[in-house]
Structures are given as structure tokens and as C-alpha cells.
Amino acid sequence: MQTLKMLTLTVFFSCLFGALSAQQAINLWPNEVPGEAKPKAKAVISENNDRGVTRIAEVTDPLLEVFEPEKESGNGISIIICPGGGYNILAIDLEGYEVAKWFTKRGYTAFVLQYRVPQKQEGALMDAQRAIRMVRSKAKEWNLDTDKIGILGFSAGGSLAARASTRYNDQTYPAVDKTDSVSCRPDFAVLIYPAYLDQGENNTLTPELKVTEEIPPMFLFVAADDKHASSSLVMGGALRKAGVTVELHMLPEGGHGYGLRPGNRAAETWPPLAKTWLETVFQK
């Protein structure tokens, strides 16, 4: 029975990844991974596929998976997507590949970031910074504008996107190569049901988040019945106070962890709103 179960999972994942496969996968770190205790290895897929979600249980060799639009439809804007999972796992299809496909169909170049898990928050920030630098340094290769590189995250991935958007001046790892001489400041950030942004005293802004007027424009979306809803409200308030361009949407219902799969009003609402916001930001 166990052998049959593993065979079924293997076939399922093979079919899934075949349908949602990236054109290219790029390892972020050419040699040793800074701050990583374990040796590089392939990502470990969890046997837990509850709700039809593929989960990556461990990442020790972070990488970017590239999803490009049709050449005639490319708009030069790139989005680095950070799946959620409580910094324990990565919901790699629900909040990664499926989102990438949605954006590439609309002209965006998407990069799904496999950042370090489980519970490697500092390593995850290094990975996000390195990913932004890598996309910017290779922008010509993908016909991208170097000043239109953004980051999008869900739940813990939203936390990571917020950290990358506010801590871009922090040197979190020693320079590896010339890529690290490039700016890691994203040009915009999209946070979908982000978590852990209200970890300050009395549910105020998480202390590590340095909100200044230099932070890139930010889009936030959440449902009121999400247990992490206050993260969006606290972050939105801090951005408004600092004079940062911010757009915040809250629906009455939707819960948490829905990605953009149909059947949930929140999941069906945020993508077109985010697209319209991006068009406004870049006046396209």
C-alpha cells in the first residue's frame, strides 16, 4: 500500500510539474549557500498534498524558476513570486507556479523563488535579496526593464516580500560575485494575505521592517476573516504615515491561503486588482 501511495504521488507531481514547468531554473548561489548548515541538495517534496497543494518541505539550494511570456506580449515588467507556508514549507504550485502562469499570460516575466525552509528566515531574506539582484543583473537576457522589477508574496512569502522591500540597504550576506554589486531594492511589492507584519509590541509593526518614504509602492490584499488580517492593516498604516504609495483592499470573507484558484471570491478578486494597480504604477 505504501509503495502504491508513493507511486501515485510521483505520477501526480510529475503531471503537475509538467503542466506548470518553468523554462529555466537558476541556482542563486554558485558555490556555498551563505548561512546554510546543510549541503546543497534537491528540494524535498512533502507527502502532504492536502487541498491539492504541492508542498516543498525543505530547500537547501535556493533557486529561481523562470516563466516567460510570449515574446510579442512581453511588457518588460518582472515579478519575483514568494510562495507562503509559514516559513515551514513552500506552497509551490498554489502560490507559485499557478500565479506565475497567470502573470505570464498577461505579458509579465515571472520568477518563482524557492527560498530556504524550514524555519530559516534570515537565509530566506538573503535568498530574496540575491534573487532581486540576479534578475536585475540579467535583465537584458529576458528583455526586462531594470527599474520595473518587483516582488510578490503570499502569507509568509508576503512577510518575506515586505522584509525585502524595507531592508534592501542591509547587507545580509558577504558579496559572492559581481551580481551583488547590483541594487536589491524592488521597484514595487504585492503582498497577498501577508503574515507576521504586526509582531511589534501591542500588535504594532514588526520591528525589523524599516518603513521610510524610500520604500517602493506597495499593494496589499486580505480578507477580514483571515487570522493574519491585522498584518495588512498595520503595514498599510505605516506606509501611509511614511508617505509611500500604497493600495490596500480588504474583503469581508475569504480566509487565508487561497492563491488564485477559482471558487473563492477573494482568490478571484485580487489578481485583476493587482494588475490594474501595476498598470497605474507604470502608466501602461
pLDDT digits (tens, 9 = 90+) for 183-199: 999 999 999 999 999 99
Amino acid code (one letter) for 31: N
- List Cα–Cα distances, 212 to 150, 204, 209, 235, in angstroms: 18, 16, 10, 12
Give 5's pLDDT tier (boundaries 50, 70, 90). Answer: very low
What are the structural domains, with CATH classification, of the chain? 23-281 (3.40.50.1820)
Q: Choose among 219, 93, 99, 94: nearest CA to 150.
A: 219
Q: How far apart are CA 190 and CA 99, in angstroms?
A: 12
Give 105's Cβ-side CA count (13 Å radius): 9
Alpha helices in the chain (DSSP H): 2-19, 98-104, 121-137, 156-166, 229-242, 265-281
pLDDT greater at residue 100 or residue 21: 100
The answer to whether 99 touches 81, Cβ cutoff 8 Å, is: yes
Q: What is the DSSP string of 202-267?
A: GG---TT----TTSPPEEEEEETT-TTHHHHHHHHHHHHHHT--EEEEEES---S--TT-TT-HHH
Q: Choose among 76, 128, 135, 105: nearest CA to 282.
A: 76
Give 22's pLDDT tier (boundaries 50, 70, 90). Answer: confident
Q: Is the pLDDT of residue 172 over 60?
A: yes
Q: Is the pLDDT of residue 277 over 50?
A: yes
Q: Is the pLDDT of residue 246 over 80?
A: yes
pLDDT tens profile 98-126: 999 999 999 999 999 999 999 999 999 99
Q: How far apart are CA 150 and CA 174, in angstroms?
A: 23
What DSSP state is assigned to residue 170?
Answer: S
- pLDDT (0 to 100) of residue 71: 86
pLDDT greater at residue 83 or residue 12: 83
Residue 72: exposure state from Cβ atoms within 10 A (0-12, 13-18, ≥19):
exposed
